Amino acid sequence: MKNYILIPVFILIFGCVTHNAFGEDLIIKTDFDSYELGSTVLISGTSSVDIASVQIKNPSEQTILIRTLEINSGGFSLDFNIPDYYEPGIYTVVASVSIDGLPTIVSTTIDVIPKIHVVEVASEQETEEKSSSKGGGCLIATAAYGSEMAPQVQFLREIRDNTVLQTQSGVSFMSAFNQFYYSFSPAVADYERENPVFKEAVKIGLTPLLTSLTILNYVDIDTEQEMLGYGIGIIMLNIGIYFVAPAIVIIALKKRLGMLAK
Protein backbone atom coordinates (compact mmCIF):
# COMPACT_ATOMS: atom_id res chain seq x y z
CA MET A 1 0.00 0.00 0.00
CA LYS A 2 2.88 2.36 0.82
CA ASN A 3 4.38 1.77 -2.62
CA TYR A 4 1.13 2.82 -4.28
CA ILE A 5 1.12 6.01 -2.24
CA LEU A 6 4.73 6.85 -3.17
CA ILE A 7 4.21 6.48 -6.95
CA PRO A 8 2.05 9.64 -7.34
CA VAL A 9 4.48 11.54 -5.10
CA PHE A 10 7.44 10.58 -7.33
CA ILE A 11 5.46 11.55 -10.44
CA LEU A 12 4.69 14.99 -9.01
CA ILE A 13 8.29 15.59 -7.90
CA PHE A 14 9.95 14.50 -11.14
CA GLY A 15 7.25 16.20 -13.21
CA CYS A 16 8.04 19.52 -11.55
CA VAL A 17 11.79 19.07 -11.99
CA THR A 18 11.40 18.34 -15.68
CA HIS A 19 9.14 21.37 -16.19
CA ASN A 20 11.56 23.75 -14.44
CA ALA A 21 14.58 22.51 -16.38
CA PHE A 22 12.69 22.87 -19.65
CA GLY A 23 11.77 26.44 -18.74
CA GLU A 24 15.43 27.31 -18.08
CA ASP A 25 16.49 26.13 -21.56
CA LEU A 26 15.47 29.52 -22.96
CA ILE A 27 15.08 32.84 -21.14
CA ILE A 28 14.58 36.28 -22.70
CA LYS A 29 14.30 39.71 -21.09
CA THR A 30 14.69 43.43 -21.77
CA ASP A 31 16.52 46.05 -19.73
CA PHE A 32 13.28 47.97 -19.05
CA ASP A 33 9.54 47.36 -19.28
CA SER A 34 8.68 50.71 -20.91
CA TYR A 35 10.41 52.82 -23.56
CA GLU A 36 9.82 56.11 -25.33
CA LEU A 37 9.78 56.23 -29.13
CA GLY A 38 13.34 56.79 -30.31
CA SER A 39 14.82 54.73 -27.44
CA THR A 40 17.02 51.66 -27.74
CA VAL A 41 15.88 48.35 -26.27
CA LEU A 42 18.53 45.98 -24.97
CA ILE A 43 17.25 42.42 -25.44
CA SER A 44 19.20 39.64 -23.75
CA GLY A 45 18.71 36.00 -22.95
CA THR A 46 20.23 32.64 -22.22
CA SER A 47 19.87 29.22 -23.76
CA SER A 48 21.53 25.83 -23.69
CA VAL A 49 21.83 25.64 -27.50
CA ASP A 50 24.00 27.51 -30.03
CA ILE A 51 21.51 29.54 -32.09
CA ALA A 52 18.39 31.52 -31.20
CA SER A 53 15.87 33.37 -33.34
CA VAL A 54 14.47 36.67 -32.06
CA GLN A 55 11.38 38.39 -33.47
CA ILE A 56 9.77 41.69 -32.56
CA LYS A 57 6.08 42.26 -33.25
CA ASN A 58 4.31 45.60 -33.18
CA PRO A 59 0.94 46.25 -31.49
CA SER A 60 -0.79 45.03 -34.68
CA GLU A 61 1.03 41.67 -34.34
CA GLN A 62 3.09 42.37 -37.48
CA THR A 63 6.68 41.14 -37.39
CA ILE A 64 8.97 44.15 -37.79
CA LEU A 65 12.32 42.50 -37.02
CA ILE A 66 13.78 39.01 -37.27
CA ARG A 67 17.33 38.18 -36.18
CA THR A 68 19.20 34.88 -35.93
CA LEU A 69 21.74 35.15 -33.12
CA GLU A 70 24.70 32.99 -32.18
CA ILE A 71 24.74 32.12 -28.49
CA ASN A 72 28.16 32.55 -26.88
CA SER A 73 28.84 31.21 -23.39
CA GLY A 74 25.14 30.50 -23.01
CA GLY A 75 24.00 34.07 -23.64
CA PHE A 76 22.85 36.33 -26.48
CA SER A 77 21.91 40.00 -26.84
CA LEU A 78 20.43 42.39 -29.39
CA ASP A 79 20.02 46.18 -29.51
CA PHE A 80 16.80 47.39 -31.14
CA ASN A 81 16.20 51.07 -31.84
CA ILE A 82 12.54 52.11 -31.85
CA PRO A 83 12.14 54.72 -34.62
CA ASP A 84 10.21 57.87 -33.75
CA TYR A 85 7.58 57.11 -36.41
CA TYR A 86 6.57 53.71 -34.96
CA GLU A 87 3.17 53.40 -33.32
CA PRO A 88 2.99 53.42 -29.50
CA GLY A 89 1.59 50.36 -27.75
CA ILE A 90 2.56 46.90 -26.55
CA TYR A 91 5.38 45.26 -28.52
CA THR A 92 6.11 41.55 -28.19
CA VAL A 93 9.65 40.14 -28.16
CA VAL A 94 9.70 36.44 -29.08
CA ALA A 95 12.70 34.10 -28.82
CA SER A 96 12.77 30.57 -30.17
CA VAL A 97 15.30 27.73 -30.25
CA SER A 98 15.30 24.11 -31.30
CA ILE A 99 16.15 21.64 -28.51
CA ASP A 100 16.45 17.98 -29.46
CA GLY A 101 14.48 18.71 -32.61
CA LEU A 102 11.59 20.33 -30.71
CA PRO A 103 10.86 24.09 -30.83
CA THR A 104 11.00 26.06 -27.59
CA ILE A 105 9.44 29.53 -27.63
CA VAL A 106 9.31 32.22 -24.95
CA SER A 107 8.20 35.84 -25.13
CA THR A 108 8.05 39.07 -23.20
CA THR A 109 6.39 42.42 -23.84
CA ILE A 110 7.44 46.07 -23.68
CA ASP A 111 5.29 49.18 -23.53
CA VAL A 112 6.28 51.79 -26.11
CA ILE A 113 5.02 55.28 -25.29
CA PRO A 114 5.13 58.55 -27.28
CA LYS A 115 8.24 60.65 -26.88
CA ILE A 116 7.92 63.43 -24.35
CA HIS A 117 8.74 66.58 -26.29
CA VAL A 118 10.43 69.50 -24.56
CA VAL A 119 9.32 72.73 -26.18
CA GLU A 120 12.33 74.76 -27.21
CA VAL A 121 12.42 78.01 -29.16
CA ALA A 122 15.32 77.85 -31.59
CA SER A 123 16.24 79.94 -34.57
CA GLU A 124 16.33 78.46 -38.05
CA GLN A 125 20.11 78.91 -38.08
CA GLU A 126 20.50 76.90 -34.84
CA THR A 127 18.33 74.12 -36.28
CA GLU A 128 20.49 73.94 -39.39
CA GLU A 129 23.66 73.89 -37.28
CA LYS A 130 22.32 70.96 -35.22
CA SER A 131 21.43 69.08 -38.38
CA SER A 132 24.87 69.72 -39.82
CA SER A 133 26.59 68.45 -36.66
CA LYS A 134 24.84 65.10 -37.14
CA GLY A 135 25.76 64.73 -40.80
CA GLY A 136 23.40 67.26 -42.35
CA GLY A 137 19.69 67.48 -42.88
CA CYS A 138 17.71 65.75 -45.62
CA LEU A 139 16.85 69.01 -47.38
CA ILE A 140 15.20 67.60 -50.50
CA ALA A 141 13.12 65.02 -48.61
CA THR A 142 12.15 67.57 -45.94
CA ALA A 143 10.93 70.02 -48.58
CA ALA A 144 9.09 67.23 -50.43
CA TYR A 145 7.25 65.89 -47.38
CA GLY A 146 6.81 69.26 -45.67
CA SER A 147 8.45 68.57 -42.30
CA GLU A 148 11.52 67.11 -40.64
CA MET A 149 9.12 65.01 -38.56
CA ALA A 150 7.59 63.31 -41.61
CA PRO A 151 7.96 59.49 -41.36
CA GLN A 152 9.93 59.33 -44.63
CA VAL A 153 12.45 61.93 -43.42
CA GLN A 154 12.77 60.21 -40.05
CA PHE A 155 13.37 56.92 -41.84
CA LEU A 156 16.21 58.38 -43.93
CA ARG A 157 17.76 59.89 -40.80
CA GLU A 158 17.51 56.57 -38.93
CA ILE A 159 19.24 54.72 -41.78
CA ARG A 160 21.99 57.34 -41.93
CA ASP A 161 22.66 57.64 -38.19
CA ASN A 162 22.04 54.07 -36.99
CA THR A 163 23.37 52.08 -39.93
CA VAL A 164 25.59 53.97 -42.37
CA LEU A 165 27.47 56.09 -39.82
CA GLN A 166 28.18 53.06 -37.60
CA THR A 167 31.11 51.95 -39.80
CA GLN A 168 34.21 53.79 -40.97
CA SER A 169 33.44 53.13 -44.62
CA GLY A 170 29.95 54.54 -44.06
CA VAL A 171 31.41 57.69 -42.47
CA SER A 172 33.78 58.13 -45.43
CA PHE A 173 30.92 57.64 -47.88
CA MET A 174 28.69 60.19 -46.11
CA SER A 175 31.52 62.74 -46.01
CA ALA A 176 32.01 62.52 -49.78
CA PHE A 177 28.27 62.31 -50.44
CA ASN A 178 27.51 65.41 -48.33
CA GLN A 179 29.95 67.52 -50.34
CA PHE A 180 28.16 66.50 -53.53
CA TYR A 181 24.63 66.61 -52.09
CA TYR A 182 24.85 70.06 -50.52
CA SER A 183 26.22 71.55 -53.73
CA PHE A 184 22.72 71.39 -55.24
CA SER A 185 20.15 70.30 -52.62
CA PRO A 186 19.40 73.81 -51.20
CA ALA A 187 18.42 75.05 -54.68
CA VAL A 188 16.29 71.96 -55.32
CA ALA A 189 14.56 72.30 -51.93
CA ASP A 190 13.78 75.97 -52.60
CA TYR A 191 12.29 75.11 -56.00
CA GLU A 192 10.14 72.39 -54.37
CA ARG A 193 8.64 74.97 -52.02
CA GLU A 194 7.88 77.29 -54.94
CA ASN A 195 6.51 74.68 -57.34
CA PRO A 196 3.91 72.18 -55.99
CA VAL A 197 3.99 70.12 -59.20
CA PHE A 198 7.77 69.67 -58.94
CA LYS A 199 7.35 68.84 -55.24
CA GLU A 200 4.95 65.98 -56.06
CA ALA A 201 7.31 64.74 -58.78
CA VAL A 202 10.15 64.60 -56.24
CA LYS A 203 7.95 62.58 -53.88
CA ILE A 204 7.31 60.03 -56.63
CA GLY A 205 11.00 59.98 -57.49
CA LEU A 206 12.01 59.31 -53.87
CA THR A 207 9.70 56.31 -53.50
CA PRO A 208 12.03 53.70 -55.15
CA LEU A 209 14.97 54.97 -53.06
CA LEU A 210 13.01 54.69 -49.80
CA THR A 211 11.81 51.23 -50.77
CA SER A 212 15.31 49.97 -51.56
CA LEU A 213 16.71 51.35 -48.30
CA THR A 214 14.26 49.27 -46.25
CA ILE A 215 16.54 46.31 -47.04
CA LEU A 216 18.95 47.67 -44.41
CA ASN A 217 16.30 47.14 -41.71
CA TYR A 218 16.38 43.38 -42.26
CA VAL A 219 20.13 42.69 -42.33
CA ASP A 220 22.91 42.74 -39.76
CA ILE A 221 25.78 45.06 -40.63
CA ASP A 222 28.61 44.48 -38.18
CA THR A 223 31.72 44.79 -40.36
CA GLU A 224 33.20 47.16 -42.93
CA GLN A 225 32.90 44.44 -45.60
CA GLU A 226 29.17 44.02 -44.95
CA MET A 227 28.63 47.79 -45.12
CA LEU A 228 30.48 47.97 -48.44
CA GLY A 229 28.65 44.95 -49.83
CA TYR A 230 25.16 46.12 -48.96
CA GLY A 231 25.98 49.72 -49.84
CA ILE A 232 27.26 48.85 -53.31
CA GLY A 233 24.31 46.50 -53.83
CA ILE A 234 21.77 49.22 -53.00
CA ILE A 235 23.60 51.76 -55.19
CA MET A 236 23.54 49.33 -58.12
CA LEU A 237 19.87 48.60 -57.49
CA ASN A 238 19.02 52.30 -57.63
CA ILE A 239 21.11 52.80 -60.76
CA GLY A 240 19.03 50.06 -62.34
CA ILE A 241 15.77 51.66 -61.18
CA TYR A 242 16.56 55.27 -62.08
CA PHE A 243 18.71 54.87 -65.19
CA VAL A 244 18.81 51.38 -66.71
CA ALA A 245 15.07 50.67 -66.57
CA PRO A 246 14.06 54.05 -68.12
CA ALA A 247 16.73 53.61 -70.81
CA ILE A 248 15.34 50.19 -71.71
CA VAL A 249 11.82 51.61 -71.90
CA ILE A 250 12.94 54.51 -74.11
CA ILE A 251 14.83 52.18 -76.48
CA ALA A 252 11.83 49.86 -76.68
CA LEU A 253 9.52 52.78 -77.46
CA LYS A 254 11.85 54.08 -80.16
CA LYS A 255 11.94 50.66 -81.79
CA ARG A 256 8.16 50.40 -81.58
CA LEU A 257 7.68 53.86 -83.10
CA GLY A 258 10.20 53.01 -85.82
CA MET A 259 8.28 49.87 -86.71
CA LEU A 260 5.00 51.79 -86.81
CA ALA A 261 6.54 54.46 -89.04
CA LYS A 262 7.50 51.78 -91.56
Residue 101 falls in which region: left (phi positive, over 0), alpha (psi -120 to 50) or beta: left
The ranges of the chain with pLDDT < 70 are 1-24, 117-137, 222, 262
Q: Strand 102-113 to strand 34-36: parallel, antiparallel, or no bridges (unpaired)?
A: parallel
3-state secondary structure of 241: helix
pLDDT score for 117: 60
Contact present, 80 and 43 (Cβ < 8 Å): yes
Give the rounded distance of the alpha carbon of 101 from its chain centre: 31
Instruction: Say which CATH architecture domain 25-113 belongs to.
Output: Sandwich (2.60)
Contact present, 87 and 104 (Cβ < 8 Å): no
pLDDT score for 257: 78
Sign of torsion over alpha carbons 152, 158, 161, 166: negative
β partners of residue 189: none
Sheet holding 63-70, edge to edge: 34-36, 102-113, 89-99, 51-57, 63-70
Torsion, Cα 236 242 247 250, to 10 degrees, reads 160
Say how far apart CA 136 and CA 189 lie, in whole Å.
Answer: 14
pLDDT score for 172: 81
* Residues 106-136: tens digit of each pLDDT: 999 999 999 876 554 444 444 444 444 444 5
* Residues 159-168: tens digit of each pLDDT: 888 778 777 8
Contact present, 101 and 93 (Cβ < 8 Å): no
CATH 2.60.40.1930 domain extents, the chain: 25-113
pLDDT score for 217: 74
pLDDT score for 6: 45
Per-residue H/E/C for 140-163:
HHHHHHCCCCCHHHHHHHHHHHHC
Closest CA to 28 of 4, 58, 52, 61: 52
Give me the count of residues in the chain.
262
Sign of torsion over alpha carbons 142, 146, 149, 152: negative
Closest CA to 99 of 38, 67, 30, 53: 53
pLDDT score for 169: 78
